[in-house]
A and B are shown apart, each in its own frame.
Chain A
């Protein structure tokens, strides 16, 4: 395969006639970076494929780490609708998603494949790795993309979602992280993409992974749940949070979220924070109690289909966005709601 800038031109011309999609992507060829752990494909990362479909042109999936091939992650990815090819690199050095060795790996893959677009989810992994790849390719990446207008024009929120920026990129290769609530994961269907081994530059990472401490939960994942129940400072204590919020979440089959105030006060774990600097969620139902509705919090949940709020302050800003607002004491209303929802089942 030809390499370098000239190689890219040849590669892109080759795709010129095959492209379809929205018709905007005559020249597009996309690398969708997928996440996997021990051979299990992280389906949330398939939003990158959905975003790639907006560009037209072929989409290749990319996987690395233990189990990429041996554990079946590549096989599963090969069935994803819309993927033409899956490139996999089986090497335990990539298991922890360290940017120091992932960046050279991706830079090499991108150069070799002559991709015009590289897409990864706006996850902790994507956010850490993609800008480092940009440094190696001399590209200005585009973060947290919520819509793709054309092959060079993208939409993203700025100022905590208080303004929506449409931006046009002059870079030869477009590096995008995409908001996962804006691009639903592509279906693992009946695709039959070819799986091939990628090139592995095997650059050692200067950072060593030591340990992790992940919150264990049987509840739906906050980022992708259909329903989210969220608590704020109004819960007053961790005991009250734990007493009132989980039963309500269980009654709805919902994930649990929290405002920054609740997290800072120690009521809930950091990883549950919804907002500008926490998670972005867009469930069917976002039900919150004891949250005033600061702009930083609204940034993380205002794309929810239905927002419901329980707050004793009738003037709380949350009521300006809530579709269903109930003014009242959450210590009475939340248990009552929980009981009545349980009775409906």
Chain B
């Protein structure tokens, strides 16, 4: 089961400082979530007894497009939790939602991306693991499953470490885990026939809440670049002038 978040390509801060422009901007699946789906699909291709792969996304109606891509990549069915754009979902809310879904669906392996590249929070997987009291393996670059035993190589500061635990487990994916496949046209057509259920937060006894209030969103201070030098001597001279040599 996956959380699929939306991303946009060229972020532009709104002039009234209330957020980032999202209307009329191209959205696609969060790249870390593509890794999640790819990994689950590969587990099945490795002949592991993967019974069911459920792709989940919460957000406005267009989140369904993202789920369709997941279905075309290999997920069996989709679940869309319809949340209006006006109700911002914080990682804590999403984790509570995923907990409720995991319990209802009796999932025992949950992949999430290590972070969504819009809010860059990097929290949902860990919060979910804490709520469920399941083991967690974050920033995974290699996953091995043998029966109940799960061995995960994690990317940490300065290198990698390997941990092991038993199912059920939460794994968050890092860039080096795999190379996601493209959804082929025939598979996109087939995905249209796969089941995509639609529910709301209320169906899981939840409502959108916000612990965080956006005070403002601003452009980062612009750097004034463009100072070019002619040659290596010019570069060294500039370093001295700027006091870094």
Contact = CB atoms under 8 A, between A and B. Distances in A.
16 contacts: A124-B154, A134-B126, A135-B127, A142-B212, A166-B214, A166-B215, A208-B163, A208-B165, A210-B151, A210-B162, A260-B175, A270-B160, A308-B238, A323-B242, A326-B229, A333-B232
Interface stretch (A6-14, A95-103, A110-118): A95-103
Interface stretch (B40-48, B65-73, B200-208, B220-228): B220-228
Contacts of A271: 155, 157-160
A337 B175 contact: no
A317 B124 CA distance: 33
Contacts of A322: 225-227
Interface of B: 8, 11, 13, 20, 90-92, 95, 114-115, 117-131, 134-139, 141, 151, 154-166, 174-176, 210-220, 223, 225-229, 231-236, 238-239, 242, 244-245
A127 B59 CA distance: 25
A209 B223 contact: no
B174 to A, nearest CB: 8
B211 A169 contact: yes
A96 to B, nearest CB: 8
A158 B115 contact: no
Contacts of A27: none
A153 B215 contact: yes
A214 interface: yes
B123 to A, nearest CB: 4
A208 B163 CA distance: 6
A284 B242 CA distance: 10
Contacts of A192: none
Contacts of A96: 161
Contact of A160 (B117, B126, B157, B212): B117
Given A170-B211, A206-B165, A206-B166, A135 B244 contact: no
B232 A336 contact: yes
A164 B213 contact: no
Interface of A: 96, 98-100, 103, 123-125, 127-136, 138-144, 153, 156-171, 205-215, 223, 227, 260, 264, 269-271, 276-277, 279, 284-285, 302, 305-308, 310, 319-328, 333, 336-337, 340-341, 344
Given A139-B92, A208-B164, A323-B227, A344 B236 contact: yes
Contact of B123 (A141, A160, A161, A168): A141
* The 10 residue pairs across chains A and B that have the minimum distance between CB atoms: A135-B130, A131-B126, A214-B159, A140-B211, A159-B11, A132-B130, A131-B123, A206-B135, A212-B161, A124-B156
A100 B137 CA distance: 10
Nearest to B32: A277
A344 B175 CA distance: 40
Nearest to B152: A207
Given A212-B156, A326-B234, A333-B232, A135 B215 contact: no
Contact of B220 (A99, A162, A277): A162
Nearest to A337: B232
A167 B215 contact: yes
A211 B162 contact: yes
Contacts of A100: 135-136
Contact of A134 (B127, B141, B161): B127
B34 to A, nearest CB: 13
A33 to B, nearest CB: 15
Q: State the main secondary structure of chain B at its contact with A.
A: mixed
Contact of A210 (B130, B138, B164, B175): B164
Nearest to A318: B225
A337 B235 contact: yes
Nearest to B237: A324
B234 to A, nearest CB: 7
Given A132-B129, A209-B161, A170 B212 contact: yes
Given A144-B122, A162-B13, 5 more contacts: A132-B136, A134-B123, A322-B227, A324-B228, A324-B242
A80 to B, nearest CB: 21
Contact of A319 (B20, B115, B228): B228
B217 A163 contact: yes
Given A139-B211, A208-B163, A166 B216 contact: yes
A131 B212 contact: no
Contacts of A143: 120-123
B130 A158 contact: no
Contact of A324 (B8, B117, B239): B239
B165 A327 contact: no
A213 B159 contact: yes
B230 to A, nearest CB: 8
Contacts of B158: 214-215, 271
Contacts of B238: 308, 323-324
A166 B218 contact: yes
B131 A158 contact: no
